[in-house]
Amino acid sequence: MTNLIVLPILIPLLTAVILIFLAKSVRMQRAVSVLSALLNMIVSFTIVHEVSVNGIQKIDVGSWPAPFGITLVSDMLSALLVVTTTIVGLAVILYSFNSIGEKREKFYYYSIIQFQLVGVIGAFTTGDIFNLFVFFEVMLMASYVLLVLGGEKIQLRESLKYLTVNVISSALFVISVAFLYSVVGTLNMAQISERIASLDEFPGILTVIAVLFLIVFGMKGAIFPLYFWLPGSYYAPPVPVMALFGALLTKVGVYSIIRTFSLFFHQDQGYSYELLLILAVITVIVGVIGSIAYWDIKKIIIYNIITAIGVILYGVAMATTTSYTGSIFYLIHDMLIKAALFLLIGIIIKITGTSDLKQFSGLIKHYPGLAWTYFIAAISLAGIPPFSGFIGKLLVIQGGFQSVEWIGSMIILISSLLVLYSVMKIFIHGFWGEPKEYVRKEAISYQTLLIPVILIIAVSVFYGVATEVIHPYISQAVETIVNPEIYIEAVLKE
Amino acid sequence: MEILMAIIIGVLFATATYLFLSKSILRIIVASGLLSHGAHLLILTMGGLKKGAVPLVNQEGIPVTDPLPQALILTAIVISFGVTALFLVLAYRAYQELETDNMDEMRGTEE
């Protein structure tokens, strides 16, 4: 079926439109969104299978041949990220049932969630640089509304800041596209790559454009020094929204950096890659400083997003097969585990009524299931061997040592310790110790909230234990990234 | 012609940057309007400003101006229009709830 790869965009889009008409009936909304999320997950698994058997899939939308129309391209990297997005989407929707509250649900909450998924999946699948901008805007517009929906004071305040930052970065994106268009005269990513490769020497203006793209996507993906908006903005929304943002939004920026740098700017390994390397290492440092500094459990997990972005981009900056493999392993792991961690601290906040770590302890006595799920999530995040964070970080660091980047690799190794400390701090101070009085008041039923979390954790444990099964897929993804010719060939030639 | 446009766009960007750094929300929204004007003019300029007919199908076969940047601008205009509308309503709502339009008074994240 030739239209297969458009379905992960089309299914949530149609669902979002249908959900607009079902606004007053919360039950129908829930049923429709779960069904659509399940269907989308099945479809995206089919795409992964299809890509692994038949190579890169593409559609020329409207049957205009490749450089002239918009092309949707699904290589292994996009297919895997789409699968991860649908899994996270399903878990967040399930979690929302018992946590978001009917008031928000009646105001198009599920519809906007679906639009958010449209934007994210579209950004992963597109093969056109301006279309990427449009999908970014779809995603951002949905995120503005999700951030402010409910209209509490803190949400209004943080939405204003988040909106301002993203208006600026979107304008910068338009400017970068304009510059790139004036140099290469095309918008199709494969043809841009081909035209840049056909130049005799890499002109300075392309290095400038590379840095501009790094600024634009770095602003979306929160790298140092452009991460400043993230801690505040992610603190404001309700927990399922926070999980959706933490798992997906920044990762789209990271994906775009991987795509543009490996496809467009790979000849210029000197300046822009060096810059990316330095920024990635500083991002890791800033992230761990933030995560060990706070005693607020939301803040701790938020700063861990920044650390993970740094680790992934460090692997990208090495640009070797090993380090790319590590980065992609880590990227998918991080999307899953960040969603799980946010949903878990959401349960903790629901039980204790506070996010201040100093105000509660001894949760393990009444909530053992929650405690051990959190424990697994925490050690997965730090990268303890049987779990999912290990193989990615191992390969990133191995790639670093192979490229003789001792300092950066050592910093990433040490950062793992501090990440472990920051999440174990929550475990030790929150779950161990004497239960404080309000915990005993009533045991809140949290089992329904835990189901989607266990779903994600199960996927992530499988992902860590069955590396042998996953590895062929990842190495196929890396093959396309390291050899852009495969991508160009698949898109431009019949 | 391109040089003149570049200077004008530069002035737009400079004004926008100046206004973005001010305290009042309304000034920031005006800044976002100017910034998107600048970005849209830049697309038009970078597409080339050579003389040509309007990009409508003509029988005479006269060369037309590049239609692609115009389509891009049209897309970017409606997107920034939507975002600006949201921004304005958000600012209005924030003014009602928080009773200030001064960004300096919106510091911090703790309630």
Tens-digit pLDDT profile for residues A393-423: 999 999 999 999 899 999 999 999 999 999 9
ipTM for the whole complex: 0.95
Per the structure block, which two tokens stand in for A226? 């452009």
- The dihedrals phi and psi of B57, each to the nearest 5 degrees, come to -65, 125
Are the CB atoms for A398 and A465 separated by under 8 Å? Answer: no
Phi, psi angles (nearest 5°) of residue A55:
80, -170
Examine the pLDDT at A185 and tell me if it is beyond 60.
yes
pLDDT, residue A442, reads 58
pLDDT of residue B99: 87
Distance CA A75, CA A86 (A): 17
Q: What length does chain A have?
A: 494
Chain A residues lying within 8 Å of B41, measured CB to CB: none
Nearest-angstrom CA–CA distance, A45 and A31: 21
Chain A to chain B, count of Cβ pairs less than 8 Å apart? 97
A298 with A346: CB under 8 angstroms? Answer: no
Tell me what pLDDT residue A494 has.
64
pLDDT above 80 for B53: yes
Q: Lowest mean pLDDT of A473-487, B9-23, B59-73, name the range.
A: B59-73
Confidence of residue A317 (pLDDT cuts 50, 70, 90): very high
Return d(Cα A77, Cα A228) in angstroms, integer. Answer: 28
Residue B59 has pLDDT above 90, yes or no: no
Average pLDDT taken over every residue of chain A: 92
pLDDT score, position B47: 86
The more confidently predicted of residues B87 and A447 is B87
- List the 25-44 stretch of B: residues with Cβ below 8 A of A: 25, 28, 32, 35-36, 38-40, 42-43
* Predicted confidence (pLDDT) at residue B60 exceeds the cutoff of 90: no
Q: pLDDT digit string (tens) for A421-473? A: 999 999 999 999 888 766 555 556 778 889 999 999 999 999 999 999 999 99
The model's confidence at residue B26, banded by pLDDT at 50, 70 and 90, is very high
Quote the tokens at residue A411.
Answer: 């910093």
Which of B101, B20, B11 lies closest to A156 in space, CA to CA? Answer: B101
For range A106-135, the mean pLDDT: 96
Q: Which amino acid is at A473?
A: Y
- Least reliable range by pLDDT among A96-110, A123-137, A424-438, B20-34: A424-438
Could you tell me if B96 lies within 8 Å of chain A, comparing CB atoms? Answer: no
Chain mean pLDDT for chain B: 91
Neighbouring C-beta atoms of residue A190, cutoff 10 Å: 25
Distance to chain A for B43, nearest Cα, Å: 5
- Tell me which residue in B75, B93, B111 faces A151 most closely, judged by beta carbons: B93
